[in-house]
Amino acid sequence: MGRGVDVAEKEQVNHVPPPVVIDPTRQPIVVVDDLHIKYKVYGTVKEKGTGASALGRLLRGRSRPQMTEIHAVRGVSFVAYKGDAIGVIGTNGSGKSTLLKAVAGLLPPATGGVFTDGQPSLLGVGAALMKDLTGERNIILGCLAMGLTPDETKEKYQEIVQFAGLRKGFIKYPMNTYSSGMGARLRFAIASARTHDVLLIDEALATGDAKFRRRSKRKIEELRKNAGAVFLVAHQLDVVAETCNRVLWLDDGQLVMDGTPEEVIAAYTEAINK
């Protein structure tokens, strides 16, 4: 017997998103078109999560996990233009990191698409630096990995050390002796040593102090001028307001608002304080 489709489901099935409109006077760098991202997870989420029910399942031999899907990004569309610095805000689990990973090409769309003009670089909290190596070695390897020549790396080295502004002597210590803030500063300093077509920064500035944030803001402005577009995920709304010319507000995987920092942050603040 066929299953009835309720009205909400019908609307979803028949929903045809409006086409993405590109401003012909500006240079598009990233086009996200009705993007859907789903994670496949293995678990028994449909059943009760109590100890008794887990034991019952085990005794009945039904502990085999089932596959379920988490629909993390649900029909997001926008266009980022050359010179845009876009803040992505939203509550925990609203899909911000997932969206950035998809723009970076690290997660395949379930449906919809992401088109980028140039190479995206994702700078995340856990960006790959080698914990056992010194800051010095990480700068050299990081620069070479980003495609700088050995001569360019030599040229940039001092600038990176200065920008990171680590405590005296720490550049010669292994990174596993760094605080999380120090690690984040070094990561950002390395990443910003070259221009990126699309630079995606996921919470990487969160642990910096006020002075470092001011320096980062200036650096992002510089990167914006030379790069294609910069995306910044941050929970600190003041950082987003200071750094970005545009903000996307995500909620439950959907785009609630796309506008200036003033209007989007005001609407978001009102919504979360209700």
Ligand X SMILES: Nc1ncnc2c1ncn2[C@@H]1O[C@H](COP(=O)(O)OP(=O)(O)OP(=O)(O)O)[C@@H](O)[C@H]1O
> Applying CB under 6 A, which residues contact ligand X?
39, 41, 70, 72, 90, 92-98
Compare residues 39 and 115 and give the one whose CB is closer to ligand X.
39
8 A C-beta contact, residue 70 and residue 215: no
Compare residues 160 and 237 and give the one whose CB is closer to ligand X.
237
Q: How far is the CB of 150 from ligand X (least distance, A)?
A: 37
Compare residues 96 and 246 and give the one whose CB is closer to ligand X.
96
Compare residues 93 and 181 and give the one whose CB is closer to ligand X.
93
Task: Give the separation between CA 202 and CA 260, rounded to whole angstroms.
Answer: 20
Encoding tokens for residue 110?
Answer: 């379930």
Q: How far is the CB of 259 from ligand X (least distance, A)?
A: 19
DSSP structure string for 88-145: EE-STTSSHHHHHHHHTTSS--SEEEEEESS-EEEE-TT----TTSBHHHHHHHHHHH
Compare residues 94 and 138 and give the one whose CB is closer to ligand X.
94
8 A C-beta contact, residue 223 and residue 230: yes
- Inter-axis angle of helices 180-191 and 210-226, to 10 degrees? 20
Q: How far is the CB of 91 from ligand X (least distance, A)?
A: 7
Q: How far is the CB of 159 from ligand X (least distance, A)?
A: 31
Compare residues 160 and 204 and give the one whose CB is closer to ligand X.
204
* CA dist list (Å): 4 to 1, 8, 9, 13, 69: 9, 12, 10, 13, 22
Task: Give the separation between CA 16 and CA 13, rounded to whole angstroms.
Answer: 8
Q: How far is the CB of 51 from ligand X (least distance, A)?
A: 23
Residue 70's contacts (CB-CB under 8 Å, 6 or more residues apart) are: 38, 39, 41
Q: How far is the CB of 252 from ligand X (least distance, A)?
A: 9
Chain-centre distance for alpha carbon 260: 19
